Amino acid sequence: MSNFVTHYTMLDSLITSKTRLKLLLKFFMNSNTSSYLRSLAGEFNESTNAVRVELNKLSEAGILCMYPEGNTVMYQANQNHPLFGDISNIVKKYIGIDQIVDQVLAKLGDLKLAFITGDYAEGKDTGIIDLVLVGKINKMYVIRLIEKAEEIIHRKIRFIILNDAEYNQHFKNIASQKVLILFK
């Protein structure tokens, strides 16, 4: 049994509420992500009441922080919670990002920067991971590694390789997006 299947089964058996699992994925994939009740209900296609119940439980436990933004109450992962690092690691194992880092990024040669953009950087598990690699990297080697990683994590990985000049040219576009830094 692969690590992904083990982590997937473990997390689903520990957290039986699908809404709570979605909230943990949302807020702990990228701890800078924040959102509000109605937005989360729409994103998860759940009732506001179901989402509210889970937000309240996670907030009461101190796992999520609440703060006002105008007339809206925003929620975000509590980075000061003693279990913050552990929850983040569990979520990353569940998604398989730890596998990507270990199998795709660690042995690429002259890798200067690697990060995830798109839905995953915003805390949404859509099944497609957008990966940006910066440096002098063997594209054929990356393709082989990504194919292996996709089998392990059961998600598709789209990637782009940029050299330093290309990264510097496109940095303004990248800097305006939410990103999840994997290697720097």
Write out the DSSP string of 141-154. Answer: HHHHHHHHHHHHHT
Q: What is the CATH number of the domain that holds 125?
A: 3.30.460.10
N-terminal to C-terminal alpha carbon distance within the chain: 32
Same domain, 66 and 101: no
Helices and strands (DSSP H and E) totals, the chain: 8, 7
CATH number at residue 60: 1.10.10.10
What's the number of domains the chain is made of?
A: 2
Indicate if 52 and 104 belong to the same structural domain.
no
In a domain, 91, yes or no: no
- Considering the domain architecture, whether residues 173 and 105 belong to the same structural domain is answered as yes
CA–CA gap between residue 50 and residue 17 (Å, rounded): 10
φ, ψ dihedrals at 143, nearest 5°:
-60, -45
Same domain, 67 and 127: no
Of 44, 65, 86, which marks where a domain is finished? 86
Residue 107 lies in a domain: yes
A 10 A CB-CB count for 79 gives: 11
Q: What pLDDT shows up at residue 70?
A: 93
Q: Among the three residues 86, 120, 136, which one is the final residue of a domain in this structure?
A: 86
Task: Please give the Cα distance from 173 to 102 (Å, whole number).
Answer: 27
In a domain, 162, yes or no: yes
Tell me if 54 is assigned to some domain: yes
Q: Which residue range(s) make up the domain with 24? A: 3-86
Is the domain of 147 the same as that of 109? yes
164 and 112 assigned to the same domain: yes
Tens digits of residue pLDDT in 94-117: 776 655 565 555 567 788 888 888
Say if residue 51 is in the same domain as residue 105: no
Higher pLDDT, 76 or 1: 76
- Tell whether 21 is covered by a domain: yes
16-45 residue pLDDT tens: 678 888 898 889 877 888 999 999 999 888
Question: What are the backbone dihedrals phi and psi of residue 16, each rounded to the nearest 5 degrees, phi first?
Answer: -85, -15
Last residue of a domain, one of 58, 86, 114: 86
Residue-level pLDDT at 81: 94
Residue 100 shares a structural domain with residue 179: yes
| Confidence at residue 96, expressed as pLDDT on a 0 to 100 scale | 66
Percent with pLDDT over 70 in the chain: 79
**What's the whole-model pTM score?**
0.55
Amino acid at 54: E
pLDDT over 90 (residue 63):
yes
Average pLDDT score, the chain: 81
70 lies in the same domain as 104: no
Statement to judge: residues 104 and 69 lie in one domain: no
